[in-house]
Amino acid sequence: MFEVLITEPIAEEGIALLSQSCKVDRRPLLSPRELAATIGFYDALIVRGRTRVTEEVIEAGKRLKVIARAGAGLDNIDLKAAERKGIVVINAGESVAVAVAELTLGLMLSLARSIPQAHFSVKEGKWEKHSFVGMQLQGKTLGIIGFGRIGRALAKRALALEMKVIAFDPFIPREEALGFGVTLVPLEELLQSSDFVSIHVPLTARTKRMIGWKELSLMKPSAYLINTARGGVVDEVALAQALEEGRIAGAALDVFENEPPLNSPLLKSDRVIFTPHIGASTREAQTLASLEVAKKVLEILRGN
């Protein structure tokens, strides 16, 4: 019987599916050292975003055939070490795409209409109608950086709101994007043209701090930046400076370079809406992600 180690909470539906043909152990909060000492007994490892699957862990996985991330990002897994060992790495990107796209849309609306600020104003006993004159999304341009599953889910919803959608993704054919009603453009053009810029790329050596001072300087002073991908994609010091100087109008962030962002200069800005990395945190997405990785793990363990 195959043995599967789960180091972070996933929905019970996926665990039940795995348990039909595997021995499943749940051991939360293992340190990398503890995980390395344990992993040699398992055929599969399922994690979320907190567990660090280092080269040491992968080298110790003598029986390990698959590492599964019950979510989208894979930056907590040493992909090169896994490739060298012939270990398959999978995620559940499809399952969380709608949840992340919907949060992004919510953040976009919050920026456009100052919803959080208006809420707290009323709670403080104020009635500042003229202080919260916002803008409509209809007719505005949304620039999507990274046109994968989440970027496409967001584009579909933005187009339904009669926005113009452009995207930057060097790995997607132009014709494929046009099939979604989206025009691919160079990154520089996207930054210069968009009223909202939304980031949906994985964190890699290529994308780390890809949005820095130079890129922020290209944006309109009236534009907003939204990041629900990974915090390391944006240079937080540069973003804080751009906001302070009025180079851009505001930002909404669900992710940070260090989480929680206790020392981030962005926390001092009243032009930023913050959420605590909840992009995939819906009941539906978590259930789907658990089932998706369970099915994929079983397929790989069975040799498919």
Catalytic residue ranges: 230, 259, 277
Sheet with 22-26, side-by-side order of all strands: 22-26, 2-6, 44-47, 66-69, 88-91
Three-state secondary structure call for residue 166: strand
List beta partners, residue 47: 69
Q: Calculate helix-pair angle for 12-19, 283-301, nearest 10 degrees.
A: 20
Query: Within 13 A of 170's CA, how many CA atoms are on the CB side?
Result: 5
DSSP per residue, 255-271: --SSSS-TT-GGGG-TT
Q: Rounded to the nearest 5°, which phi and psi values hold at 187?
A: -60, -45
What whole-number distance in Å separates Cα of residue 261 and Cα of residue 228?
15
What whole-number distance in Å separates Cα of residue 138 and Cα of residue 223?
15
Three-state secondary structure call for residue 173: coil
What whole-number distance in Å separates Cα of residue 2 and Cα of residue 301?
8
Instruction: Give residue 145's Cα distance to chain centre.
Output: 12
Sheet with 224-227, side-by-side order of all strands: 183-184, 164-168, 141-145, 196-199, 224-227, 250-253, 272-274
What whole-number distance in Å separates Cα of residue 302 and Cα of residue 304?
6
